[in-house]
Chain A
């Protein structure tokens, strides 16, 4: 297999001075470079957010611990949540989307390359703004440093009276700025997928990753905007003396909760649908079978997209809504489990009877399948209002959503890392180290988050700084913290593997997995123009058609 290529310029890229090459990365509008920038940026914040989580867990390892002060604990908890959601998982997923969507739909770039760069830099500056609070959060009042209001920032904690200094303002501005970037990315995803597809790629022939990211784009523009609006209101309250969330002047604290969770719950699906997209690409390749039930997958994703906007108040059962409100949100929460379940069966159907290859990406996807199923089941438990009244605000909830985000999303992201690493870097990763990463992380994950359910059931509230001995929580907290060590070891292997392979790995061919989608038809890494001639496709698996002209897919689709 050889690739047509175009000689862009005679300049040898390797010999230019490093300042010039760095300058290229800063001014770039190339979707591949921006995608990698997103991913590297998110990895840096993953380490920072991981350190914050480790501090939280060390503090909770034994009762009456004094590893950090209560004030620092609150800051760590707030920064960990905010960082992981907004500056790790979202940028990583946007990075993969930005990198892969144009390649998979046979385009040379996104619909709006400059908007793409703008979005990345807004996200990047948002993250810097959040972390600048450690330095600038004291402000003129000399109080507070990093935000300590929790990542929901419920009123009235955010009012001037309870949050002096500028810590909350940094939190607000960081989310406002990165939110604008995210909306830009959402617009760009939609425009790219609808308007830039190569000839022959009708909507029904798009790779599932493109379909799922189209839904993500739609969800981003409808769900990040309410957060942006709420942050504007909070700024008006804090800077201009407004009363939106000021209960003293007739404002409503519950309104903030509604606005936050109207954003907050679709956000979970914004994070998990791209993970679904990775799994939908990786599972068929390593099962050597086309995806089972493509149209149903698309329909289920769109269903999730719509229903996700009607479930937000299941975060608020303990606030005291009417019985009709409670019933409605219980019902919608149960309903959203249906399309999610359909997806799980489709992945299983894809694996059923396939020749499964247990390479690292596939291992992570199988881990995803099991863990996401369990996370969904505890989600259904918490979605039942009476059960929720008992356990809302406990460690059971913390265990549940970490099961979704770590056990589900992060596992799929690791799978995606290994799957597309050869394409992005032009080199193969070390399979042995990747397997070590998988098994260590699996053990660490289950030690931490399986056993975190139990202190929750025993009544341990979330967000507490320390706890009394003799309540039966000590043993479980000890195991939970020990699990963190395994996770740290796994992450170190992961980062080491990436760095080592980047420089010393075996060179990757353009199609190391014998895959079927268009990104594998160009070189690894792809040239700046992606495709020398714009491809023409006739089925969902164009490379299969090319490799098997005697039995192409378009005969059956």
Chain B
């Protein structure tokens, strides 16, 4: 039989479905949230359960500057995507580069914090339960920042080569969902690790 099954005139001409990129990314974010939830639950469950020190209160400092950098990168990536849709590629390149720098500052900050913890305070992943849960949770987040930064850097290279055009706006938008998610996770990690857990 013909595949063109019964076309009655009343079928709406504008058959619009959600964008698969957005739906796919939102589903992926949902899966990632579940992974983070398990790590956060483990962190909260083990707060104060370490039989030996050092305790979080003794060694952790509030990473205020880092947090400001990462959270403001959400704003810059939003402005970048808006610029790409306009399209003003130069503005896109500027905001995108700024996002990359802010993300990189965050990663360097995390690295310095870990360096201080390991060398000065002697806290490693095997020291006590605090070390295990802290490095796992913050490390899992830093891993997601790293993946995001690699992607941002690739897009930056394409931008410099002049390959990025307005038609890529939707893709950049889908990626920005991921970046916003990474920032939102940091709000939770910050609250759990540095506020509640300290």
User: CB within 8 Å of B: which residues of A?
Assistant: 1-4, 111-112, 115, 183, 186-188, 190-192, 194-197, 199-200, 217-218, 221-226, 228-230, 232-233, 236-237, 240-244, 249-252, 255, 259, 262, 510-511, 518, 521-522, 531-538, 542-543, 545-546, 549, 552, 554
Contacts and interface: CB of A to CB of B under 8 A. Distances in A.
B3 A522 contact: yes
Contacts of A241: 124-126
A312 B190 CA distance: 29
B163 interface: no
B1 interface: yes
A554 B9 CA distance: 13
B23 A195 contact: yes
B39 A200 contact: no
B113 interface: no
B57 interface: no
Interface string B139-160: 0100000000000000000000
Interface stretch (B30-38, B63-71, B104-112, B179-187): B30-38
Contacts, number: 163
A-B CB proximity, top 7 nearest: A241-B126, A225-B34, A229-B38, A221-B31, A195-B20, A242-B132, A199-B15
Among A187, A228, A542, which residue has the most Cβ atoms of chain B within 10 A?
A: A187
Nearest to B31: A221
A229 B35 CA distance: 5
A243 B132 contact: yes
Contacts of A237: 132
B20 A250 contact: no
Contact of A242 (B8, B11, B20, B125): B125
B5 A221 contact: no
B45 A191 contact: no
Interface in B94-133: 124-126, 128-129, 132-133
Contact of B3 (A197, A511, A531): A531
Nearest to B19: A195
5 contacts: A191-B24, A199-B11, A241-B126, A249-B51, A250-B128
Contacts of A2: 1-2
Interface residues of B, number: 43
Contacts of A244: 42, 132-133, 136
Contacts of A230: 38
A531 B46 CA distance: 55
A225 B31 contact: yes
Given A190-B23, A200-B11, A536-B7, A250 B1 contact: no
Nearest to B15: A199
A225 B32 contact: yes
B31 A194 contact: no
Given A225-B38, A250-B50, A236 B125 contact: yes
B27 interface: yes
A536 B20 contact: no
A533 B125 contact: no
Nearest to B39: A229
Contacts of B18: 194-195
Nearest to B132: A242
A374 B18 CA distance: 41
Nearest to A195: B20
B6 A194 contact: no
A187 B128 CA distance: 37
Nearest to A189: B27
A537 B31 contact: no
B188 interface: no
Nearest to B45: A255
Contacts of A549: 6
Given A4-B3, A187-B31, A230-B38, A196 B17 contact: yes
Contacts of A554: 8
B15 A200 contact: yes
B28 interface: yes
Contacts of A535: 3-5
Interface in B49-97: 49-51
